[in-house]
Structure 1
Amino acid sequence: MADNDTVKYHEKKSLIDQQSRVFHSLITQERTQKLELVIHLLSNSNQALVVCGPSGIGKSTLLSILQERKLDSWLYCPILGNTGLNFEKIQERIISAITDNKSRQKSRSLSGAFGLLESQHKKIVLVIDEAGYLPPGLINTIISYVQEQLVLQVIFVLTHDDLSIKNSSDSAIDDCHLIEIPPLSEKQCGEFLQYLAIKPRSPIAFNGISDAMIETVYLETHGIPGRIIGNLPKLKNTGKNNNSLWVLIAGVLGLIILALCIQWFSSSEYNSKPLQATPSNTQ
């Protein structure tokens, strides 16, 4: 009985540690909810998904955590978009992702690979990062193909600018479910800086994070985590500079107070001396 309790304890602790790491990686509760939304849609819909936001907002991080979950019923086929990619190469990557799983069963055709997934009651999720680099029309082809395959789903990762461009070349993207990754608020920027400060070899000190630093970082980065990380080297000496400034201010104030005290004592000493009588003139 004790052994079972120990096993349950370690399993629960492992789950809590994983949840904590995921939460800190996603930074905010709102982003965690976005991850849960992606999982819900993949589980209950065959609609293509678009994860959207500016560069550095955390789109790839969110999808990396999704793939790390390793749910038993899902396989993932991550692809980095590029101008040389075509539909045939994508099909080859899907076959490779399916046949390289634990079963080690090989299939020479895509239909055979999909049949293998169906027999295992599994699905495969095609994750295309940097989808803005895909040739015009390829997104239309992928979406049309996915709609015909019950075991296949797709997620496109796009910036707002890329999404606007693809709207003109790939009209099917209008029918995708759009998931926006939100920027951090000023308060969340401070929490993120504190989280980065406690990581090994962090260029900033936890005690050096001030309200002024947080405000500056928020204004410069607009709450985009990738930009905050990129600004860390510039923040390295900010805390030291702030401390030096306060030391300088304190020193100046001390000199002023000392000068005023000397002046006051001098004046007091002068006023306390008795006036000497002026000798009268004798006639």
Structure 2
Amino acid sequence: MEENDLGNYQLKLNGSIDNTDDYSLTGLERIQKQQLFVHLLANSEQSLLVCGPEGIGKSRIVKNLQKQQAQTWVFFSIVGQFQLDLHKVLDKINEETAQSPKQSRLKKVVLFEDAGRLPAGLIDQILESGLPTADIRLVFFLSHDDLYVKSFTDKRIDDCYLIEIPPLTENQCGDFVRGLSAKPWIRLSGNEINERFIASIYQQSNGVPGEIIAKLPTVAGHKRVDTSLWLLLLALVILIAIALGLQWYSQKHNGLNFSFPSRLSLPAFLLPSSPPEGKDGHQ
């Protein structure tokens, strides 16, 4: 498994990375990672491991490539599942590659999303099955924890090229938030974005773009509503209804008269609070 050193690495491609509408690529190192990804897909048959925590931008890189390389490559995904086996994987690849005759001359890129959920040893079987080929590339997406586990169960991953997607720095986090604030679906004024706000968001998110978005205070159309109290009240009402129903059924079955209680005993936190009494003892 190769660790790439991109300290002074810059790759010039046909057409630059369009970063004007994708702030998840903020930062030179992250852009260079995408450029390296493109370079390896185009020039090497070596399978790739794209590693990083959830929300780091692994799928965003692929979406960018799908836009930029639509005339060169065909991308399709296989989501990692424990019940997959080699035959199902190969059938899926054959099915996808045969679907569009017009794309038969294009290179195929098979994306194994959530590859950590693949059964132990399956990555080895895939890599020993004759894949990848000159026309088919393989990319496995893994978290760091999954990569650690697979290093014991699938020894062939050491033959893959590792690309780690780095988190944003605090300064890049600020650029990311400012870029998002211009989006119509984000409600965040420029006055709210200061050093203290950025530092707080960065500390909570660890520089992971997906986490940064989740930590933004208000998002139009995506406002997060805390429904825990309503669920608690609903559960309480259901329990009371069940208790009353059982009591009614039991007393009816035994020939007893049943009347609903005139007042239910509610938990203290649901009872209305009374104003404090005055010094003379009257309210």
Instruction: Show the counterpart of 1:170.
Output: 154
**Higher helix fraction (1 or 2):** 1
1:155 paired with 2:139, answer yes
Instruction: Show the counterpart of 1:30.
Output: 29
Amino acid at match of 2:32: Q
Quote the RMSD (CA, aligned, Å). 2.3
In 1, the alpha carbon distance for the partners of 2:162 and 2:190 equals 37
In 2, the alpha carbon distance for the partners of 1:37 and 1:83 equals 30
Give the secondary-structure state (helix, strand or coil) at the position aligned to 1:233.
Answer: coil
Moved more, 144-153 or 61-70: 144-153
Give 5+ residue unaligned stretches, structure 2: 1-14, 221-283
Q: Does the C-alpha gap of structure 1 residues 49 and 148 become closer, same or farther in structure 2, counting only changes over 3 Å?
A: closer
Q: Does the C-alpha gap of structure 1 residues 75 and 227 become closer, same or farther in structure 2, counting only changes over 3 Å?
A: same
TM-score, normalising length from structure 2?
0.67
The correspondence for 2:126, drawn from 142, 145, 161, is 142
Superposed CA deviations along residues 78-107 of structure 1, whole A, max 9, x for unmatched, are: 121111222222222222322222528xxx
Give the secondary-structure state (helix, strand or coil) at the position aligned to 2:89.
Answer: helix
Superposed CA deviations along residues 194-241 of structure 1, whole A, max 9, x for unmatched, are: 0111111313222210110011111121111111111113799xxxxx
Moved more, 166-175 or 74-83: 74-83
Amino acid at match of 1:42: L
In 1, the alpha carbon distance for the partners of 2:33 and 2:95 equals 29
In 1, the alpha carbon distance for the partners of 2:40 and 2:130 equals 15
| Identity score, percent | 38
Amino acid at match of 1:92: D
In 1, the alpha carbon distance for the partners of 2:178 and 2:142 equals 29
Instruction: Show the counterpart of 2:196.
Output: 212
Structure 2 contact 110–138 (Cα < 8 Å) conserved: yes
Instruction: Show the counterpart of 2:40.
Output: 41
Give 5+ residue unaligned stretches, structure 1: 1-14, 105-116, 237-283
User: How far 1:28 moved relative to its partner?
Assistant: 2.3
Instruction: Show the counterpart of 2:275.
Output: none
Instruction: Show the counterpart of 1:95.
Output: 94
1:127 paired with 2:111, answer yes
In 1, the alpha carbon distance for the partners of 2:199 and 2:95 equals 48
Instruction: Show the counterpart of 1:265.
Output: none
In 2, the alpha carbon distance for the partners of 1:201 and 1:22 equals 14
Equivalent runs, 1:134-283 vs 2, <5 Å: 134-147=118-131, 149-233=133-217
In 1, the alpha carbon distance for the partners of 2:62 and 2:73 equals 14
Structure 2 contact 23–180 (Cα < 8 Å) conserved: no
Instruction: Show the counterpart of 2:69.
Output: 70
User: How far 1:31 moved relative to its partner?
Assistant: 1.5
TM-score, normalising length from structure 1?
0.67
User: How far 1:60 moved relative to its partner?
Assistant: 1.3
Amino acid at match of 1:218: Y
In 1, the alpha carbon distance for the partners of 2:46 and 2:132 equals 11
Give the secondary-structure state (helix, strand or coil) at the position aligned to 1:140.
Answer: helix
In 2, the alpha carbon distance for the partners of 1:61 and 1:34 equals 12
Structure 1 contact 23–32 (Cα < 8 Å) conserved: no
Structure 1 contact 146–153 (Cα < 8 Å) conserved: no
Amino acid at match of 1:189: C
Q: Does the C-alpha gap of structure 1 residues 178 and 148 become closer, same or farther in structure 2, counting only changes over 3 Å?
A: closer
Give the secondary-structure state (helix, strand or coil) at the position aligned to 1:145.
Answer: coil
Aligned residues: 206
Structure 2 contact 24–176 (Cα < 8 Å) conserved: no
Give the secondary-structure state (helix, strand or coil) at the position aligned to 2:109.
Answer: strand
Instruction: Show the counterpart of 1:57.
Output: 56
Structure 1 contact 125–153 (Cα < 8 Å) conserved: yes
- Structure 1 stretches of 4+ with a deviation exceeding 4 A read none
